[in-house]
Homo-oligomer: A and B are copies of this chain.
Amino acid sequence: MKKPEIRKRICVDMDEVMADAVAEHLLRYNREFNVSLTKDDLRGKRFWQIVPAAHHQVLDELLRAEDFFEDLDVMPDAPRVLEALQRHYEVFIASAAMEVPSSFNPKFRWLQCHFPTVPHTHIVFCGDKSILRADYLIDDNPRQLERFTGTGILYDAPHNVAVTGYTRVRNWLEIEALFLSEK
C-alpha cells in the first residue's frame, strides 16, 4: 500500500498578501481629504506615520467601514498560484482579523468570492500568529513572522522594506517559484 504523502503546511496572510488593503485604504483616504498619496509615500512607514495626527481617527474609521474588506482587489496571480499550492501543500488562510471585528464577515465573503477553492475548515481568524501550527507562514508583518515557530516568508510591502532575516517574496509569481519550481 502506498504510504500517504505527508504534505507540508503553508499559512497565508490575507491583507497585503492576498488582498490589496493598502491600495483601498489610500483610495478612501485620498477621496476623503482630496489628496493623492501613493504607495511610494508609504516606503518604510505605516500609514498613520505619514498623515497629520488630526487624521488618525478617520484613518482608523475608514478601515472599520463595513464594506472596506469586501471591496479589496485581489493581488495579481494569487488565485491561480494558491490553487496550485493546494495541490502540493496543505494551505490555510490565516488573518489577524481579531483586530477589526467588523471585518469577520466581509473577509469570509471575500474569500468565498475570490478564493472558492479554500474550504472553510482551512480559514483561521486569529490575533497572535504564534498559535499557528504550520511549516510556513507568508505574511507582510514582521511581528507576526517573529512569533511564528515555522519558517517565515516576508511578503514585500512598503512598510517592511527595511526588514531583513526572512526570505522576501515580491509577488505571487515569486511564491510560485519558491514553493513549486521543484514540484
Count identical subunits in the complex. 2
Q: Number of A residues whose C-beta is below 8 Å from B?
A: 26
Cβ–Cβ contact B123 & A127, under 8 A = yes
Question: Does A49 sit within 8 A of B, measured CB to CB?
Answer: no
A92 contacts chain B at the CB level, 8 A cutoff: yes
Which A residues fall within an 8 A CB radius of B?
A: 11, 92, 94, 97-99, 101, 104-105, 108, 119-128, 130-134, 149
Within the assembled complex, what's the spacing in Å between the Cα atoms of A66 and B123?
21
Which B residues are in CB contact (< 8 Å) with A108? 98, 101, 104
Cross-interface CB contact of A105 among B104, B119, B126, cutoff 8 Å: B104
Chain B residues contacting A123 (CB-CB under 8 Å) are 98, 126-127
